[in-house]
Each structure stands twice: as structure tokens, then as C-alpha cells.
Amino acid sequence: MALGADRREILWSVLTRGLMLSGIGLAIGLAAAVGLSRVLRTLLFNVTPTDPLTMGAVAAIIAAVAAAACIVPAWRAARVDPMIVLRDS
């Protein structure tokens, strides 16, 4: 903000970075779950290890939690007074 960014740009930047990392982790996790489906087969009852509905629901829940976790730091970063940041650095 001290260099000319407005609050919306700061909010968008922090959210984008956090959600990008969450998306990468989610993709790696889904690939690992599909890759380890033989191990998961012994732990699941009445559900196939690669059930698309289950995988999609879990991915959606994890994405929603990641988005909620990214909103708080993004909101705080957007509300910081630029003079306080420049004074502290």
C-alpha cells in the first residue's frame, strides 16, 4: 500500500498466493490418494477408493477450509496502515 497498491489488490494478492499453495497441495494429495488406492481399499467399507463423489466432496471441503484460512490473513494485510509498516521496517 505504501508503494501504491490499494486494499483490493493487497487482498487479492494474499488470497491468490494462499489458494495457489492450497491448490498445489490438494492436487498432490489427490494424486497420492489415487496412487495409494490399494492401501486405502483395506480401510474403506462400501466405498471404492477412487469414488469420484467422495474425492470431489473431500476436495471441495478442503478447498473451502483453505479459502477460509486465507481470508483472515488477507483481510489483516489489507487493513494495515502503510505508515505503521514503514515506521516498523
Do the domain assignments include residue 88? no
Do the domain assignments include residue 87? no
The C-alpha cell of 47 is what?
466405498
- Domain of residue 46, residue span: 7-82
pLDDT value, residue 3: 65
DSSP state of 36: T
Do the domain assignments include residue 1? no
pLDDT in tens, 29-48: 999 988 888 787 877 777 78
Indicate the number of domains in the chain: 1
Q: At what angle do helices 52-79 and 7-35 cross, to 10 degrees?
A: 150
Average pLDDT, the chain: 85
Do the domain assignments include residue 2? no
pTM above 0.85, yes or no: no
pLDDT value, residue 4: 72
Single-letter amino acid code for the residue at 27: A
CB-facing half-sphere around the CA of 37: CA atoms within 13 A: 11
The two most distant CA atoms of the chain are separated, in Å, by 60
Single-letter amino acid code for the residue at 21: L
pLDDT value, residue 27: 95
